[in-house]
Amino acid sequence: MYKHALKGGIRTAKQAWKLKNELGKLNLELAKANSDFEQHLCEAARITQSCAPPANNRPLLLLKTQGDNSKSSSHNSSSTAACSIVANHYRTAVNPRSVLDKTVKPVFRAESCHLNALIPSKQFVKVQKQFYRDFSSVSLGSSLKNSDAPLLGDLCSQYRAILAHTSADVVPGEDRHRAQCNYQQKRRSHQHNHSREEQLEQEKMAQKAQFERLPTNVVPRHYELLLQPDLEEFTFTGKTVVQVQVKEPTSQITLNALDITIDSVELDYECTKLKPEKIVYSVENETATLEFGKEIPNDTAGVLRMSFTGELNDKMKGFYRSKYFGPNGEERYAGVTQFEATDARRCFPCWDEPAIKATFDITLVVPKDRVALSNMPVMKEDALPDGLRRVRFDRTPIMSTYLVAVVVGEYDYVEGKSDDGVIVRVFTPVGKREQGTFALEVATKVLPYYKDYFNIAYPLPKMDLIAISDFSAGAMENWGLVTYRETFVLVDPKNTSLMRKQSIALTVGHEIAHQWFGNLVTMEWWTHLWLNEGYASFVEFLCVHHLFPEYDIWTQFVTDMYTRALELDSLKNSHPIEVPVGHPSEIDEIFDEISYNKGASVIRMLHDYIGEDDFRKGMNLYLTRHQYGNTCTEDLWTALQEASSKKVADVMSSWTQHKGFPVVSVEQEQQGPKKRVLRLKQCKFTADGSEAEEDCLWTVPISVSTSKNPTGIAKTFLLDKPSMEVVLENVEENDWIKINPGTVGYYRTRYSSDMLEQLMPAVARMELPPLDRLGLIDDMFAMVQAGHASTADVLALVDAYRNETNYTVWTAITNSLTNLHILISHTDLMDHFHRFGRNLYEPVAQRLGWEPRDGENHLDTLLRSLVLTRLVSFRSDEVIDSARARFRSHVTGTNPLPADLRTTCYKAVLQDGDEKVFEEMLNLYRNTDLHEEQDRISRALGCCSDVKLLRRVIDFAMSGEVRAQDSVFVIVAVAINPKGRDMAWEFFKENNKQLLERYQGGFLLSRLIKYLIENFATEERAREVEEFFKANHIPGCERTVSQAVETIRLNAAWLKRDKLALSAFLEQN
């Protein structure tokens, strides 16, 4: 997947519900609210308890639809139909925790009875029906606009009695036992006065320990899969015929299924036809176990037939619906799949683990006027009655389930062919065919590039790229059918900025790299996800550098990937690249900047360490050796080690297994006229400058350059001890030394003051190459944050960058000053800081001007918008006036703004704009259908200064006018504006339930939370935030909250330490 892997969906809603439920059950007030009703249940329980069958013999049955709960006799049926379960309802009911919900109530005793036998009460049935109605409206994809739908958590509190009883019905024996053990444990911990948090933690731990991968006694070889979506009713039906191999005698088959209803099952082998006696679902493990009641012998080849139905959900995962507009503006829907990491199981019952590979014959039944796509080309099409058509696709190679894809909708496309004969198509919204041209050009060139690079041909006959209107991640590498967010693939020549075009090239390069690295060779388990993502995030730069050398993309790697990774990885709450993960909710959490950015950064370091030729040889060895198979991190090291004869595994293990990275401190001593001795020390770098808790040692490949040859390498060596001495020959007294030339090593450098003094003039003269100027300033700001240097001193050094010309170096300076800007927003120094900023940025702005020059280089175009936007926020009157004038002629149509400068001008008018300006911007938003332009306008809205208008921006973000996938970014724009900071946080506190319901936990919400809170700078705020999230737990955001709270405390310490000196410096400069 592409970074911005925005996760969200029902799974986290389930957790939300569960946790909410746990908290709710301790809430006696809520209990009181239901007490009358429960009293009634208790009565019923006492009367009927003696007739209850033992819990673990009860069949699995839940009322499939409202009102059929009178059929209590069916609970003994073993027919498959009786096993059928509406998975969504089941999910609510089965949770063992909801059994616990009743632990403080006498009604708990009643749970060993079957619901219908137990409570024939009309009142119960009535409430239960109401519950199912309400539950459908919260969980079954009610429109996002329908924000008054009840929250899952509230609903579950309200219907505690119903949940407890239905769960008793369906909890399988073992889970039930566990639930009771948990109950006992909980009772005990109550007695020991443990805190509620500790209990939750204990249960979470217990839950983690329970996760198991699928059994390997039965494995699939080949799936036939038929899917028929109903694009009006938002449901789908499906059939699958799986050729399975029974490897050990067994009477049951366990596979993954979630939120789908398995309607029928039949297993055929050696003239035997078996139907399961029951299907046992585990919502916790997202599995279904087919229990056949008869042993299937080993070494049996069988055919497993299943039919199923599901909802075409609106959660952007599994098989979901994506909204678009028809020619007359009417709402229409496409059916789209997004399976990574573990959501194929929401579409069809399958062995949904990356290592359980199989081949697939996919068939779609769709309305005859819709485009139907899948991984492989169409093999055959037939017309069916009722305006339908059946599309059969060719057989796929052996592959993992998370890479299976289908799309059904209305699209136009452009087509091309790569040099080596692969058909490439880019599908766009209807009428926007030409917007696919750029991606087509990139993709057709990228395929042969990788073919040469890996020395392995692309294994499929076609490659489709498609723009999807509702898409949570940036892009997804489904084999042969890559899906993209519209802004990550469509280029409108008049309205697309250069920056966007560049990221589209990178995204296309990333996804196509996965076709080999990820699809052909796949990680054995999600613990090794970083291999896929780190590698693709590295190689996308390699390929864009090859296709567009003018982008100078490698220098941008450092600001886009490397420094962002260092920033996050210096926190105590970071994590190692390689994380043992089990349950899907843990897997979702690791699609983060550590897997992508740090992963790519350490691979870049390794690439540099072993050299391009050996790296390539090693890659070929790895991909050839493991093609169509699965690997662990060590397999890659082995191949690269064989190719390079260097100790790859030894060097790399410290980088993948420890969290964080070292800071290398260097001191020097000149010995004689031509000899310099360097003394190096490594220790773990911590953002707050404290001593590291753990004792870590890295094997650091170090290189050094000197003023004799600034672009060459004077010496390389491995620092694998806490400290060492190195001698450099041919270095004279006045020569400077630069550690980590090219900013390739994943570490920070701390120079002695004499070494730094020698380096700074080389910066001012631009003798040091751009990446070294960049690395130096970034390291210096990190030292400031950690309290190893003073802000005022580093700002004085920034002066050496006044003549800087390189875009990427300016990006690094800007990033550091933006952090400082946030700190200063908590003081009264803002006007002084603005003056400092204007002085720093004005010379480069004057050099560039507003108008692009003919044949101007790519980076200058990017630099212009960067610098002018900064000057807008530093309140440069000249720039603001000019921007306003340009905006006027843009709006009137006399002189449209180039896309690269629109953000600058939008911000200039909005910054001090009134309601009229605000409305004008909204009109612009409403008059464009280009997603990119909508993004640009809606994110600029956050820079208004008027808090009332900022509040309107938030309302706008939450209105149906902004797609759910985008509204988080609009609120973030408000939150990072110091004027909107407190209001946005208040908004969040008041509306956190609504937001949780909207985003169902997950990545989008984590991102919002990060920006809402990390810019505070007082201990009081840190505590407030901590307490808020303790009381309002948001599943999947735990790590983000701890990271952000850590950042608040860093800000507070930084301000306390440096405020006086900073104020003295800014007042003088």
Q: Rounded to the nearest whole angstrom, what is the least distance from the CB of residue 510 to Zn ion in the complex?
A: 6
Q: According to DSSP H, which parts of 805-946 are helical?
A: 807-824, 830-848, 858-873, 877-891, 899-911, 915-926, 931-940
Beta bridge partners of 311: 235
Please compute, for residue 603, the number of CA atoms within 13 A of its CA located in the half-sphere on the CB side: 31
Q: Rounded to the nearest whole angstrom, what is the least distance from the CB of residue 317 to Zn ion in the complex?
A: 16
Q: Rounded to the nearest whole angstrom, what is the least distance from the CB of residue 736 to Zn ion in the complex?
A: 40
Pair 692, 684: CB distance under 8 Å:
yes
User: Is 510 labelled as part of a ligand binding site?
Assistant: yes
- Say how many residues touch Zn ion, by CB under 5 A: 3
Sites for Zn ion among residues 530-589 (CB under 5 A): 533, 536
For helices 877-891 and 899-911, angle between their N-to-C axes, nearest 10 degrees:
110
Three-state secondary-structure class, residue 456: coil
Q: What is d(CA 457, CA 463) in angstroms, rounded to the nearest whole number?
A: 13
Identify which of 349, 363, 358, 365 has the alpha carbon closest to the alpha carbon of residue 266.
Answer: 349
Question: C-alpha angle 600/605/606, rounded to 5°?
Answer: 95
Output 55 or 476, the one with its CB closest to Zn ion: 476
Q: What is the 3-state secondary structure (H, E, C) of 667-730?
A: EEEECCCCEEEEEEEEEECCCCCCCCCCCCCCCEEEEEEECCCCCCCCEEEEECCCEEEEEEEC
Output 533 or 560, the one with its CB closest to Zn ion: 533
Please compute, for residue 573, the number of CA atoms within 13 A of its CA located in the half-sphere on the CB side: 13
Three-state secondary-structure class, residue 347: coil
Which single residue is written with the structure tokens 């449209």?
896
Pair 487, 930: CB distance under 8 Å:
no
End-to-end CA distance of the chain: 47
DSSP-derived letter for residue 313 is: B
User: Is 201 labelled as part of a ligand binding site?
Assistant: no
Amino acid in position 709: N
DSSP-derived letter for residue 578 is: S
Amino acid in position 717: F
Identify which of 991, 993, 1004 has the alpha carbon closest to the alpha carbon of residue 1037.
Answer: 1004
Q: Which residues are marked as active site?
A: 511
CA-to-CA dists, residue 1007 to 153, 812, 972, 1037, 1057, angstroms:
22, 22, 8, 9, 29
Peptide bond between residue 341 and the one before it cis (omega within 30 degrees of 0): yes
Output 536 or 937, the one with its CB closest to Zn ion: 536
From 1-9, 314-322, 488-496, 840-848, give the range in contact with Zn ion by CB under 5 A: 1-9
Kindly report the backbone phi and psi dihedral angles of residue 1058, in degrees, each rounded to the nearest multiple of 5, phi listed first.
Answer: -110, -5
**Length of the chain in residues, anyone?**
1069
Output 534 or 1002, the one with its CB closest to Zn ion: 534
Q: What is d(CA 1055, CA 784) in angstroms, rounded to the nearest whole number?
A: 11
Q: Rounded to the nearest whole angstrom, what is the least distance from the CB of residue 513 to Zn ion in the complex?
A: 8
User: Is 545 labelled as part of a ligand binding site?
Assistant: no
Q: Rounded to the nearest whole angstrom, what is the least distance from the CB of residue 3 to Zn ion in the complex?
A: 7
Q: What is d(CA 1049, CA 572) in angstroms, rounded to the nearest whole number?
A: 12
Our finding on whether 1 is near Zn ion (CB under 5 A) is yes
Considering just the CA atoms, what is the radius of gyration of the chain in Å?
30
Q: What is the 3-state secondary structure (H, E, C) of 612-643?
A: HHHHHHHHHHHHHHHCCCEECHHHHHHHHHHH
Output 518 or 742, the one with its CB closest to Zn ion: 518
Output 482 or 863, the one with its CB closest to Zn ion: 482
Output 5 or 797, the one with its CB closest to Zn ion: 5
Output 475 or 880, the one with its CB closest to Zn ion: 475
Q: Rounded to the nearest whole angstrom, what is the least distance from the CB of residue 477 to Zn ion in the complex?
A: 6
Output 519 or 644, the one with its CB closest to Zn ion: 519
Q: What is d(CA 373, CA 560) in angstroms, rounded to the nearest whole number?
A: 34
Pair 185, 198: CB distance under 8 Å:
no
Q: Rounded to the nearest whole angstrom, what is the least distance from the CB of residue 517 to Zn ion in the complex?
A: 9
Sites for Zn ion among residues 482-511 (CB under 5 A): none
Our finding on whether 603 is near Zn ion (CB under 5 A) is no
DSSP-derived letter for residue 213 is: P
Query: H helices then E strands: how many in the chain?
Result: 39, 29
CA-to-CA dists, residue 672 to 167, 240, 271, angstroms:
82, 79, 90
Output 466 or 763, the one with its CB closest to Zn ion: 466
Q: Rounded to the nearest whole angstrom, what is the least distance from the CB of residue 552 to Zn ion in the complex?
A: 23
From 394-402, 484-492, 528-536, 960-968, give the range in contact with Zn ion by CB under 5 A: 528-536
**How many Cβ atoms sit within 10 Å of the Cβ of residue 590?**
22
Q: According to DSSP H, which parts of 95-172 are helical?
A: 96-100, 115-118, 122-139, 152-158, 160-170
Kindly report the backbone phi and psi dihedral angles of residue 497, in degrees, each rounded to the nearest multiple of 5, phi listed first.
Answer: -75, 160
Q: Rounded to the nearest whole angstrom, what is the least distance from the CB of residue 475 to Zn ion in the complex?
A: 8
Output 38 or 511, the one with its CB closest to Zn ion: 511
Output 1 or 917, the one with its CB closest to Zn ion: 1
Q: What is d(CA 522, CA 354) in angstroms, rounded to the nearest whole number?
A: 7
Pair 577, 656: CB distance under 8 Å:
yes
Binding-site positions:
510, 514, 533
Residues that bind Zn ion (CB under 5 A): 1, 533, 536
Give the residue ranges of the annotated binding site for Zn(2+).
510, 514, 533
